[in-house]
């Protein structure tokens, strides 16, 4: 989670994407205007980011980095 720590006016939620061997192979982040960031969490919408990660990782079950 980034709450305007790297740039004023930019907040984001990020998650690691893991390949078939469990290693981190990518990342997924969603930027949200600061005025709506708290509302997103309170409404439970951040779960959509974690659900997207699960769907992506399901497609990477056979992927092993470096092979």
Q: What sign does the CA torsion over 33, 11, 34, 50 have?
A: positive
The string of pLDDT tens digits covering residues 1-49 is: 999 999 999 999 999 999 999 999 999 999 989 999 888 888 888 899 9
pTM of the model: 0.79
Give 9-17 contacts, CB < 8 A, sequence gap 24+: 9/33, 9/34, 10/34, 11/37, 13/46, 13/49, 15/49, 15/50, 15/53, 16/53, 17/53, 17/56, 17/57, 17/60
Question: How much is the pLDDT for 18?
Answer: 96
What's the DSSP call for residue 67?
-
Three-state secondary structure call for residue 28: strand
């Amino acid at each position: 989670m980034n709450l305007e720590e790297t740039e004023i006016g930019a907040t984001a939620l990020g998650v690691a994407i893991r390949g078939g061997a469990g290693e981190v192979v990518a990342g997924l982040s969603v930027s949200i205007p600061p005025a709506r960031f708290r509302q997103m969490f309170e409404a439970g919408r951040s779960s959509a980011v974690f659900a997207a990660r699960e769907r992506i990782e399901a497609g990477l079950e056979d992927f092993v980095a470096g092979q």
